[in-house]
Amino acid sequence: MKIETNNTGQKVHFFDNPRNVTWMIRIFYAICILLVAADFVVHRHIYLSYDEIPAFYAIYGFVACVVLVIIATGMRKFVMRDEHFYDKREDEVEQIVPRVDVEHALNSTDEESHS
Amino acid sequence: MSYAIPAFLPFFLAALFAAIAPVRFRYLLVLVPLVNGILIYLNADQLTPISIQLHTFTLQIMDVGAQVTEQDAKLTLLFAYLFHLACFICLIYALHVKDKVQIVAGLLYAGSAVGAVFAGDFITLFIFWELLAVTSAFLVFARRTKASKAAGIRYLIIQVLSGVLLLIGAISYFQQTGSLEIGYIGLGSLASWLFLIAFGIKAAFPFMHSWLTDAYPEATPAGAVFLSAFTTKVAIYMLARTFPGEDLLVYIGAAMTCFPIFYAVIENDLRKVLAYSLINQLGFMVCGIGIGTALALNGTVAHAFNDVIFKGLLFMTMGAVLHRVGHVNGSNLGGLYKTMPKTTFFCIIGAASISAFPLFSGFVSKSMVMAAMIEAGHEYLWLMLLFASAGVFHHAGIKIPFFAFFAHDSGLRPKEAPTNMLVAMGIAAFMCILVGTYPEFLYQMLPWENSYVPYDLTHTLTQLQLLFFSALAFVWLNKKGLYPPELKSVNLDFEWIYRKALPAAGVGLARFADNLKTHFVGFAVSAVNALPVKKRGNDANAATLTLRMALGFVFLAVLAFVTQFI
């Protein structure tokens, strides 16, 4: 991500450096792999029948979130309306906050490809 | 030494003081919940029961002492401590607020919650129940926007309705049993259903929940923190007192854990996301009450305690953003960590706690309900709760901090939150970590016998797997561009019924009635016009008048004659 500010003396923050983000994501992947690996090493208690599946919680967590997001996105078709649907919201004012101009590079490496 | 005043009285006196004293003395108010809470804690076994005789009826305003069972007494005390702690944190958070309405309403509101948990009969409860409604509505009104006025009115109507149902329930309960003592009710009679609906409205049962997601995001920054602490927890407390082990509640609770998370994923207003996530957390508590075993009820109470702290913390961080930026729309935020690093840090602690990360408070309480669910043999419902646990991490654990403080840089560079807000957030964050790392602190106060061990290898490992792979799903979906972007929008929920459908139906009905009236008037006018005009101008003389009277008399005589034969 390339940051251009009108304030040239501004320091570059941690997450502005794509290398930091890439490293964080790599560490995160490594932890994920370790957690699944631990499932085969550690003998954990089995409470339920599907508990026996190796890495059941990992698979369930991943699938649950993907299903959650896909259903929720689909729900938008039915439930999403304009923000003034119920009544006009004119009296919401953004306070005067210092702003800098930010230019977002298209090929960002962190998890914000949608922005 | 013994504690012989109604526990809510200091709050009400403080509110009176706040109303008349100059606003610069508001710093003193912070001491009220602190000192009162400590006094109650020190005199926990020497609290004096207090009742007021009203004609033939006795209001038990401090139902403590020997006649109360050990569990009920402990339950009451735990909630009382919790409300004192919450009020203490809220007041520090609101120290910069010079608006007397908020301070007075907040104190009265907290006092009403304390009054409600010490109430010994349903009439006393009803009084505090309605006070909760009326006082808290001012925390919404105090935002002083058009939207907050309307939302506050809707909130007030629904809350008062809950109180009215409670009163009707209490009257019919009294007719059946001859008693108004608060105790186990159990479903069956009409009165019990009325109670369940009255409590259910305040506990945000499905289809009765939209007041919460409607009003909380419209409240003032400090108001939302107050609101998130008291109303729903009083309802949970009452459900635990009156409906423990009621099977229906397990299913209601499971539904409550699941449906809000879908809304939370697509909601743009981050405080509304928190409101949905509040319903999700209440779902776990309602499940626990429904299961009704000692482990489940302990889990419910522990989770209520933790939820007040971590949900309060999250509302505080979003309140700080609202205070500094003027809105909390995910679509227009991002990159705030650069200038609000402390708020970001506290938000991440709140997020880790609500997601039940090991070493944070949610971990030691949510799992009690989950474990009780397995013990009770509800395997499918347990899967639902597991789904909700992954989902809560997704929307409250990642979405809130990510879209507010990281994500794409919005260019906004607001100042860090005021010091008093940071102190309040710091206390809440400290509590989250304290309970998470030293669960005995909370466990020793639980009402029932407790032998649950949260930190075993299986639980820690499985929970970490669940959370990390939920996060992995978030990363993967974002990389694929499948994650729904934050959009300025309104999502239809149950409130559509009373904000659109019913008004539209009302307008339609009015138009139909109007049409009917127009037709009817037209018909009558034409009928009158069809009558031959017998008048000769305006000077109808005595003869015509007499003739008409005579005809009228004959008509009446005939009518009277006819009626004799019917």
Q: What is the pLDDT of residues B396-436, one digit of tens each?
A: 999 999 999 988 888 889 999 999 999 999 999 999 999 99
CA distance linking residue B276 with residue B392, whole number of Å: 10
Q: What is the DSSP string of B66-105?
A: TTS-HHHHHHHHHHHHHHHHHHHHHHHHTTT---HHHHHH
As a whole number, the mean pLDDT across chain B is 93
- Sort out which chain B residues have CB atoms less than 8 A from A28's CB and list them: 468, 471-472, 475
- The confidence score (pLDDT) of residue B548 equals 87
Over residues B242-249, mean pLDDT: 94
Q: Could you tell me the pTM of the whole model?
A: 0.90
Over residues B364-371, mean pLDDT: 94
> What are B58's two structure tokens?
């006795």
For the stretch B262-265, contacts whose Cβ atoms lie closer than 8 Å and that sit 24 or more positions apart, written own/partner, are: B262/A68, B262/A71, B262/A72, B262/A75, B263/A72, B263/A75, B263/B213, B263/B491, B263/B493, B264/B391, B264/B395, B264/B396, B264/B399, B265/A68, B265/A69, B265/A72, B265/A73, B265/B391, B265/B394, B265/B395, B265/B399, B265/B484
Residue with tokens 């508990």: A51
Is B461–A35 a contact, with Cβ atoms under 8 angstroms apart?
yes
Is A68–B261 a contact, with Cβ atoms under 8 angstroms apart?
yes
Is B484–A69 a contact, with Cβ atoms under 8 angstroms apart?
yes
Confidence grade of residue B310 (pLDDT, cut at 50, 70, 90): very high
CA distance linking residue B121 with residue B52, whole number of Å: 12
Over residues B192-197, mean pLDDT: 96
- The confidence score (pLDDT) of residue A5 equals 47
CA distance linking residue B25 with residue B492, whole number of Å: 44
ipTM: 0.85
B429, B346 in Cβ contact below 8 A? Answer: yes
Q: Which residues pair with B438 in a beta bridge?
A: none
CA distances from B1 to B40, B47, B398 (A): 11, 10, 49
- CA-nearest residue of chain B to A15? B406
- Sort out which chain A residues have CB atoms less than 8 A from B327's CB and list them: 92, 94
- Sort out which chain B residues have CB atoms less than 8 A from A36's CB and list them: 465
Is A57–B327 a contact, with Cβ atoms under 8 angstroms apart?
no
- The confidence score (pLDDT) of residue A54 equals 83
* pLDDT digits 0-9 by tens, B525-537: 999 888 876 655 5
Does residue A27 belong to the interface with chain B, where contact is any CB pair within 8 Å?
A: no
Over residues A53-74, mean pLDDT: 92
* pLDDT digits 0-9 by tens, B169-180: 999 999 999 999
Does residue A42 belong to the interface with chain B, where contact is any CB pair within 8 Å?
A: yes
Pick the closest to residue B142 from B198, B59, B222 (CA basis): B222
Q: So where are chain B's domains?
A: 1-243, 250-484
Does residue A40 belong to the interface with chain B, where contact is any CB pair within 8 Å?
A: no
DSSP state of B121: B
CA distance linking residue B67 with residue B315, whole number of Å: 39
Is A72–B262 a contact, with Cβ atoms under 8 angstroms apart?
yes
Residue B43 in 3-state DSSP? coil
- The confidence score (pLDDT) of residue A114 equals 41
- Sort out which chain B residues have CB atoms less than 8 A from A82's CB and list them: 489-490
- The confidence score (pLDDT) of residue B68 equals 87
- The confidence score (pLDDT) of residue A2 equals 44
Domains contained in chain A, number: 1
Q: Report the gap between the CA of A67 and the closest CA in chain B (Å).
A: 10
Pick the closest to residue A69 from B159, B182, B480, B297 (CA basis): B480
* pLDDT digits 0-9 by tens, B204-214: 999 999 999 99
pLDDT of B366 above 60? yes
The one-letter amino acid code at B417 reads A
Is B386–A92 a contact, with Cβ atoms under 8 angstroms apart?
no
- CA-nearest residue of chain A to B385? A64
Is A115–B465 a contact, with Cβ atoms under 8 angstroms apart?
no
CA distance linking residue A111 with residue B402, whole number of Å: 10
- The confidence score (pLDDT) of residue A104 equals 59
Q: Report the gap between the CA of B412 and the closest CA in chain A (Å).
A: 5
Confidence grade of residue A46 (pLDDT, cut at 50, 70, 90): confident
No. of H helices and E strands in chain B? 23, 3
- The confidence score (pLDDT) of residue B305 equals 97
- The confidence score (pLDDT) of residue A18 equals 85
pLDDT of B94 above 50? yes
Does residue A113 belong to the interface with chain B, where contact is any CB pair within 8 Å?
A: yes
Does residue B189 belong to the interface with chain A, where contact is any CB pair within 8 Å?
A: no
Q: Which of A44, A61, A75 sits opposite B469 (nearest CB)?
A: A61
Provide the pairing of β-strand B490-491 with A80-81.
Answer: antiparallel
- The confidence score (pLDDT) of residue A15 equals 83
A33, B464 in Cβ contact below 8 A? Answer: no
B271, B217 in Cβ contact below 8 A? Answer: yes
Q: Which residues pair with B47 in a beta bridge?
A: B3
> What are B288's two structure tokens?
């626990």
Over residues B490-512, mean pLDDT: 93
Pick the closest to residue B219 from B279, B135, B157 (CA basis): B135
Considering only A7-11, A53-57, B104-108, B195-199, which range has the smallest mean pLDDT? A7-11
A69, B484 in Cβ contact below 8 A? Answer: yes
Q: 6-25 in A: which are within 8 Å (CB) of B?
A: 13, 15-16, 25
pLDDT of B273 above 60? yes
Q: Which of B265, B468, B488 sits opposite A31 (nearest CB)?
A: B468
Higher pLDDT, B307 or B332: B307
* pLDDT digits 0-9 by tens, B71-88: 999 999 999 999 999 999
Select the highest-mean-pLDDT range: A12-26, B279-293, B475-489: B279-293
- The confidence score (pLDDT) of residue A89 equals 76
DSSP state of B326: S
No. of H helices and E strands in chain A? 2, 1
pLDDT of B198 above 60? yes
CA distance linking residue B82 with residue B393, whole number of Å: 24
pLDDT of A112 above 80? no
B484, A76 in Cβ contact below 8 A? Answer: yes
CA distance linking residue B449 with residue B440, whole number of Å: 13
Does residue B498 belong to the interface with chain A, where contact is any CB pair within 8 Å?
A: no
Higher pLDDT, B61 or A104: B61
- The confidence score (pLDDT) of residue A115 equals 36
Range of the domain at A107: 1-115
Angle value at C-alpha B472, between B471 and B477, nearest 5 degrees? 100
Higher pLDDT, B225 or A4: B225
A59, B383 in Cβ contact below 8 A? Answer: no
Over residues B375-395, mean pLDDT: 93
Does residue A111 belong to the interface with chain B, where contact is any CB pair within 8 Å?
A: yes
Does residue B461 belong to the interface with chain A, where contact is any CB pair within 8 Å?
A: yes
Residue with tokens 């390339």: A2
Residue B218 in 3-state DSSP? helix
Q: Report the gap between the CA of A19 and the closest CA in chain B (Å).
A: 16
Burial label for B315, CB within 10 Å (0-12, 13-18, 19+), is buried
Q: Report the gap between the CA of A97 and the closest CA in chain B (Å).
A: 5
- The confidence score (pLDDT) of residue B524 equals 93
B93, B420 in Cβ contact below 8 A? Answer: yes
pLDDT of B386 above 70? yes
Distance of CA B533 to the CA centre of its chain: 68
